[in-house]
Copies of this chain bind each other. A is one copy, B any other.
Amino acid sequence: MGLRVPARPGATLLELAGQAGLGLEAGCGGKGLCGKCRVRLTGEFPPLDEAQARLLGQEARQGLRLACQTEMPRGGVVWVPQESLQKRQVILTAGTDTDLELDPAVRRLELRVPPASLREPRAAAQRLAEELRTPALDVPLEVLRALPQALGAPEGLVTATLWQGRRVLEVSAGRAPASLGLAVDLGTTTVVAYLLDLADGRPLAVEAAMNPQVMRGDDVISRISHACQDPAHLAELAGLAVACLNQLSRQACHSAGVAPRRILECVVVGNTAMHHLFLGLDPSGLAAAPYAPVLGASLDLPAARLGLELAPLANLHLPPVKAGFVGSDAVAAALAAGADQVETSTLILDLGTNGEMILATPQALLCCSTAAGPAFEGGHIKFGMRGAPGAVERLALDPDTLEPSLGVIGGGAPLGLCGSGLVSAVAELWRAGALGETGGWNPALEHPRLRQGDQGREFVLAWAAQTANGQDLALTAQDLAQVQLAKGAIQAGARIMLERLGLAAPEQVLLAGAFGNYLDPADALDIGLLPPVARQRVRGIGNAAGAGALMILASQRQRQRAQDLAQRLEYLELAALPGFLDRFLEGMAFLPAPGRRED
């Protein structure tokens, strides 16, 4: 790639690559466990420890090493294989296409402020407050400093920008350009930012990026554990998220042809771990029972306080989080899905690592989260990967020969399996009778593609000659177990919520997020990932968290509705409930979930 980086003593190749702007896969957060950040060295090979030798096998002798465990060799060159690079992911930026209600917290007012007179030498701030008919107007120091110049022209036009009708965020002489807002869905893996014109509700740009915190771990648990080691780690993770938001806001403003300092409010939603890491709040409570967050309520603070480079007095609004594993993204998704206004029982699922679920009926609003694990995001799956070019997203088996046909994102040679491809593969193998009911392979099955691998029996979905990396692409017995764990957790969570309301099944299922959007409902129903509903009552609702964040940005009424919704939500801590383990174990079977299903 021709990149040159000055090598600091003590810095790992993973860190140096990050400095060079080169994202390497590091599922374990740089602990030497996942084996994904492999690089090839030339020159003098550094010594090899036992853990690396086990993970890397034969090739270690030819200079293969884990970037996270290796310092820069003297005078050498480091080759980065394609598989070790972070994939540019297919990021779902679209939310549900609802018209945005427009009633923003930030409003621009044009007014004329009379000059002071010798008979009434009223202070500038007082004349402004009187003209705005707001006696208790909050005029921050920065605005007071700008006030004389803004009010300078006698009887001239003045533009004041107010937040919630009571705090002045900006004041200037003459007309000012429209105020903008930024809504951000701060995901564990991806970050999506929406730029909105707050005067007319017009969307101006959408930008997305990988969450740069992935260099400290793929999943929330590894990032939490990293943050808990050292206050400097927590500060670093917070800084990475802030830098990412700044980059996205610059990009969005660049493509819309506006300046970031026109952004006067920013709404950020995310799971509770992202929320805490962004704010620099100690996340250790989220890692152990009872999983209590530091802050549940919504928070408003100056965006500049965190280092966001927006308007100097821009407000940062963080909607409420409900629990350690039900974040403001779930609250925002529930808002976008209208969970507080459903007419029939509705199960809203976000099948990420922490399967957040909401069960809404006209009377009740329950939520829970299940440790579904990262299987559907490519984690802990031998050839798992995110939904990026090269990922198998769909698979069909010839019912007689079991020969697979693969649908690959981007259309090229396959490299791995993303979440929907994984579910599709498992469902096809189940329908073909290749799986045992209680898990694992059907012991009776014999097939040329089913062979003994280093992790037990595995089914080869594509031979080395067809794949992008020249390796056989296989689904292993361990991969099947990961899917079972994930669906067991999800099924148990859904059943416990349904039983709590005396229901056998919900009348509809809404799937939030990218995985939910690309998932084939039939596959999900067949293997029991979803409770028994009619296939046509399963619907993807896109990036509902992002859509909810936009609603909260655009409207104070929706912002209040999100607060009320979070208040009304009843959180079930599954681990504290009797019966969870039974349902979890039942849910692991490769069978449709129990109950009636109309198709």
Contact = CB atoms under 8 A, between A and B. Distances in A.
Interface string A17-28: 000000000000
A553 interface: no
Contact of A125 (B116, B122, B297): B297
A139 interface: yes
A123 B328 CA distance: 14
* Most B-side CB within 10 Å, residue of A123, A279, A290: A123
A218 B115 CA distance: 30
A119 B294 contact: no
Contacts of A374: none
A308 to B, nearest CB: 13
A323 B140 CA distance: 20
Contacts of A571: 121
A573 interface: yes
B301 A141 contact: yes
Contacts of A294: 123-125, 144, 147-148
A290 B118 contact: yes
A1 interface: no
A135 B71 CA distance: 52
A144 B278 CA distance: 13
A546 interface: no
Contact of A324 (B121, B126, B289, B297): B121
Interface stretch (A280-288, A330-338, A433-441): A280-288
A292 B117 CA distance: 8
So how many copies of this chain end up in the complex?
2
Interface in A283-309: 284-285, 289-297, 299, 301, 305
A279 B146 CA distance: 12
Nearest to A294: B124
A121 B314 CA distance: 32
A218 to B, nearest CB: 25
A279 B147 contact: no
Given A292-B122, A294-B124, A148 B116 contact: no
Contact of A148 (B124, B145, B285, B290): B285
A118 B575 contact: yes
Given A118-B573, A124-B295, A144 B279 contact: yes
A466 interface: no
Interface in A96-150: 116-119, 121-126, 139-141, 144-145, 147-149
Interface in A128-174: 139-141, 144-145, 147-149
A301 B290 CA distance: 37
A116 B292 contact: yes
Given A141-B301, A148-B285, A290 B573 contact: no
B573 A119 contact: yes
A576 interface: yes
A116 B290 contact: yes
A86 to B, nearest CB: 30
Contacts of A148: 281-282, 284-285, 294
Nearest to A276: B144
Contacts of A299: 141, 144
A591 to B, nearest CB: 31
Given A148-B284, A305-B141, A121 B295 contact: no
A111 B296 CA distance: 21
Contact of A121 (B140, B144, B284, B292): B292
Lowest 4 A-B CB distances belong to which pairs? A116-B292, A123-B296, A121-B290, A121-B292
15 contacts: A118-B573, A118-B575, A121-B291, A121-B573, A123-B294, A123-B295, A123-B296, A123-B297, A123-B321, A124-B292, A124-B295, A139-B295, A141-B280, A145-B280, A145-B281
